[in-house]
């Protein structure tokens, strides 16, 4: 009811989804302690969508947020990518774990 999930229009992996809160939230820099539960639910939805799409190796996924100013939109959205082991060269840079521009 409070989250939506859809495919990324420029997928970085065979499975690339965005999990987005229906209610507007700025970006990952605006998150506070009270947002922990919604972020956890966003991750649960991402995993459930992967499983519904026949992807079961949850050890080979990458989830995270682009750190401002590297966000394409100013509405919180969680990237869910799988399999992480099949990310191409550019995607490995764009979705690099805990980099200057992407946080997991």
Which amino acids are annotated catalytic? 77
Residue 12's contacts (CB-CB under 8 Å, 6 or more residues apart) are 79, 81, 87, 88, 90, 91, 94, 95
What 3-state class would DSSP assign to 46? helix
In the structure encoding, which two tokens stand for residue 53, read together? Answer: 């799409």
**Residue bearing tokens 């700025």:** 26
């Amino acid at each position: 009811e409070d989250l939506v999930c859809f495919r990324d229009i420029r997928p970085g992996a065979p499975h690339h989804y965005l999990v987005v809160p229906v209610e507007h939230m700025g970006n990952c820099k605006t998150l506070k302690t009270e947002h922990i539960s919604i972020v956890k639910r966003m991750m649960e939805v991402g995993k459930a969508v992967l499983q519904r799409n026949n992807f079961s190796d949850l050890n080979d996924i990458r989830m995270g947020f682009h750190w401002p100013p590297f966000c394409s939109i100013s509405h919180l959205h969680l990237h869910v990518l799988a399999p992480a082991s099949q990310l191409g060269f550019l995607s490995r840079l764009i979705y690099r774990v805990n980099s200057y521009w992407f946080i997991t």
